[in-house]
Every structure is written in structure tokens, then in C-alpha cells.
Structure 1
Amino acid sequence: MSTAAAPLALVHSTSVKPDEVRRRELAGFLRSRRERISPEQVGLPAGGRRRTPGLRREEVAQLAAVGVTWYTWLEQSRDIQVSPQVLDAIARALLLDTNERAHLFSLADTPDPAPVAMCPTITPAILAIMEQLEPLPVVAANSRCDVLAYNRTYRHLITDLDAVPTADRNFLWMAFTDPLWRKVLVDYEDATASMVAKFRSAMADHVAEPAWKALLKRLRLASPEFDEQWQRHEVGLTSNGEKRFLNPQVGLLHFEFTTLWLGPRQSTRLITYTPADEETAERVERLHAYALTRV
């Protein structure tokens, strides 16, 4: 008995492009959010009998002030352009919370023009941990390299951070504009190149945010050295490693630093500095003792 040839309709590639997968996920997400909202929740009359739960497509389009056909295409995973402003309107119409809004813009592969600020992560408990880790230097920072908190040892690791204006407490700003940082960071060129590469990688998720653009502009205007490194387009990831400081109070310090993330996303982190040798451990004790005398 002979075997019939497979129908041509079944002989085809099953590969799906990533953009198509993303559009399907976006369409499914929009439908699920629409179906969970009742008309009463958004100030619309309930109307007659509904064949599907939640809002109708035309109602979402009305609330978001977009065309019904255009919104229908979006839920049908059509390949159409979506502006950040329209996504913002849809997010508001569907009553999306912080996580849902971020997911919407991620699926649309579009930067959020008004990202919701992350909840503060430098809690009293975190500050207590930082103090308990003394004499080890510990600092908390976000992905934009802003210094958010530090313990007493770290305060005097490079310069007296309490004397630095809050707006200037940024690793990049201090490294490229404060001459003392050039003296204290033993491997200055490698350290700053790594910082710029990590900053460029992190900024990929924040290209539309005013605070990030303002910091970048400020750095490029203030430091030709930063601008030159920025134009190399090097990228890097935050990781653990080693770092050396020529501290003004106690001399050379050789550390192994460890990054501890404080949330589900790689944003706010603790950086702890552990002595790499006995000499550094003894000098850290002295630096801590010095810090305790400074009010």
C-alpha cells in the first residue's frame, strides 16, 4: 500500500518572527485587560446584553480617543505603528497599574514618555543593613549612577560625600568633574570606561526620560573626556569585580566589590566592598574609626 504525499498546505515553515510573537502577545494582553473592566468602572452606561465580558473595542477606542478600526487592528496583532502618546491613552483607558503599563510599553517596543517612578527602595531596613555591615564600605545607587545612600565608612572612601551637593552625588558626575576622584581611583581609566559602558547599556531602557537625557547632556558639556568615551558606543553589564582606592586618610585599599539588587529589576542596588587582603582589612578598620569621629 502506497503512502500518499503530504498535502502542500502542510509543507511549510513553522518559524515565527520575534516581532510577530510580540504583536500577538500585545494583542492578547490588550484583550485580557479590556475584558476585565466593566462599563461602570469607566463611567459608561452598561447598555443591553453583552456577548463578551468587559468593554467593547469601540468603547476602549472612545475612551482613548483613537480610531475604532486602528484599535481593532492592534488587537488583531496587525503590523501597525504605535506612538507613545497613543499607548499612554490606552493605558489610562484600560486602568493599567504600574506593572501593567510597563508591560504594555515593553510589548509595543516603545519608550514610555511618562514612566511611573519606582517605589522607593531605600527603606529604614536597608539603611540598618548598611550600618550593620560596617566597617565595610557600602553604597546604594540606581541604574543612572545616582548615589542614594551610603554608610559612614563609604562616606569617606573617596571624598566626604556629605559635603557634595545632593544633585551632584552621581558616580559619573563625580568621577569626571572632581579631581580628587582621579587621584583616589587607582585604575581611573579602566574604572571610568566601565562606568560609561554600563551607563550606556542602562540608558537603552530610559532613552525618552528627561532625567536621563539631562544628565547625559550635562556630562557631555562638562567633560570632553566623558564625551569622547560616550562616542565609543561601548556597552557593559553591572557585575562584581575588584577595585583599588588610594584613600587620603589610610592609603591604598584593595577591595572585591559585590552588587546586590534591591528589587525584581536591575535598578537600585547595594554595592559592598570587602577587603581583598589583610592589609586592606586593617586599613578599613582605621578608616571606619576615622569616620566615627566626623559628625
Structure 2
Amino acid sequence: AAGIAIGLRRRTPGLRREEVAMIAGVGTTWYTWLEQGREVRPSVEVLTALAEALRLDAAEKQHLFILADRQQPERRAVAPEKVDGPLLHMLQSLVLQPAYVVGRRWDVLAWNPAAVAVFGDYGLLEGDARNIVHMVFTSPHHRHLLVDWEQLARTVLASF
């Protein structure tokens, strides 16, 4: 489940110490010291990486942070992305050039009439359907527009 190739037969199920350390991005020796209760002070980022590597649920993660005497980071609410006026003005001034603006998740946030003429009206799409990566892999309409779909799909995925 962790994506690690299993070579030899294991005597016990689960991840080995070296594998947990690798997934969490920490050294095996340091992780061993942490397991042994030695005087190491893991950062909040390392504790978060360990919680993800071990796939801890919320209660287990909270317990890990209590044991480490660290404050668990609060989940920040992410404000909806928007395109400011000057960028919108520039986008609309590109009369003959199809153009759109994408956000941090590659969602199409704004577009001009030329983009509507070439790619279709993004205003008719909602949620994931307005995401570039989603469109490349699931929209037959957009796939038809792409001359070399396979190469572009690889590039989009690698860039994402």
C-alpha cells in the first residue's frame, strides 16, 4: 500500500524501520533514535511527515504530537482563488489570442472570448471539470483538440 516493492518474504506484516524513514524523508539512524526514545527533538514538519508515512488517523496524529511535546499545526482555510482586475483587463485585451489563467491546482479561473471560441466555454464547467489536468485526461472534447495528446498528457502530468 505504501508503494514499496516487496522482495523477500516478510516474517511480520507492515513497514520496516528503514521504509518508514525513507517515506518520511528522515535518516534511518535518526528515526531509530526517535523510536528508542533518545533525546531528539523532531520538528512539526518531521512529525507531520511521520504521521503521513504511518497513515495515522486524527487521534493517533494528535497523540504523536503530544508525545513529542509539540503543538499540532492548525489547518489553514484556503481562500478561493480569484483573478484581480489588472490581470482580467489584460486577458480581455488579448482579442485574437486564446488565453486563460489557472490557479495553484490548475483550475481555470478566467478566460477570454478567444479561448471560448477555441477551447469551449469554461463557464459551463463546474468543479473538477474546470481543471486542466482533469480536462486533459477525461474530456473527449479537449482530447480531440490536442494534436499530440499522449505527449501533452505526459508533459501536463509531469508539470503538475
- Bigger radius of gyration among the two: 1
**Taking structure 2 as the reference length, what is the TM-score of the superposition?**
0.45
Using CA pairs under 8 Å that are at least 6 residues apart, name the structure with larger relative contact order, 1 or 2: 1
**Taking structure 1 as the reference length, what is the TM-score of the superposition?**
0.25
